[in-house]
Structure 1
Amino acid sequence: MYQQKYWNLLKELKVHVYYVQNYAVTQNKNDQIINIFLAVTSSSSIAAWALWKEYEFVWAFIIATSQVVTAIKPLMPYKKRLSALNNLGDMLSVISLKAERDWFFVSEGKWDEEKIHSQWADLKEEAFAAEKKCLAGLTLPKNKSTLSLAEEETDLYLQSTYS
């Protein structure tokens, strides 16, 4: 029972590592899309001056949208989330590696149930402390596709490493 409990935690930690990494990639892409939009609209509005009269409403809308995005961009959570996710990913990776290192002792029956439970609880506490430290005040909306991808990557990793 305690071996299975430890294995489940090891798997959960690995899913968290992949989830946080994939979530960070998504946040980075969102930030890049916004930056590209702003760069294109600011440079193309000047280049499109000749077309201005023909598509006056379209260009006015694009420029207005660009100005609104520029104004609210500092309030958007992408940069803060990205920094927090990178830090959290690093911390969870270390905790996950520790769990994998100790899996040998668990799987080979070298630890008794009390020791397994103690290590399991320590890992849970470390993961919670890492989340609390890195995500202080930040919320991460759940992303089902990112979670599914993380679960797939974890299954592949565990199959190739421990099968």
Structure 2
Amino acid sequence: MSVALPDRRPARRQRGIATLEFALMLMFGLLPLLLVTYSGVMIMAVQQTLSAASAEGARAAFRHATPGERRTAACLAARRSMQWLLTYAKQTPDCATAGAPPITVSTPTPCADLPAVQCIRVEVSYDYGAHPFLPGTGRVYGWVMPKPLRSTAVSQLDLGGN
């Protein structure tokens, strides 16, 4: 009676399969997850920057006297606060008029709740679809964010009749 030895050829064909599976999981599993996480964190950073820029613009509008000076000061302060975004998007807003995105400063108008009081509205925006941080994510996030990211702040300019 002879004992048959196991065939070692199938074991040789299995050599390296774990490495191949790891490489595929890394490429198709972990890297996309990391890229989506990174772009999500960057979108949150953009929104935080926009919030700070609109608030800085509204504060600057409060400190100056004439309406023209208030609008220019608000635009300049917002531009300073979001300079890294403007540099990345290759945008240079015109603070002389301050009437077009990415930085829009309204003329002093009556406030919505208190018509006797003048308010200025500072709105800043960033179009992630046109300037994504990772190529291709503009389209991916386009269905979630069809419009540019925005932040608005309103500054009450006077106490109205005091």
- Structure number with greater Rg is 2
TM-score (norm 2): 0.36
TM-score (norm 1): 0.36
Structure with greater helix share of residues: 1
Greater RCO, 1 or 2 (C-alpha within 8 Å, sep 6+): 1
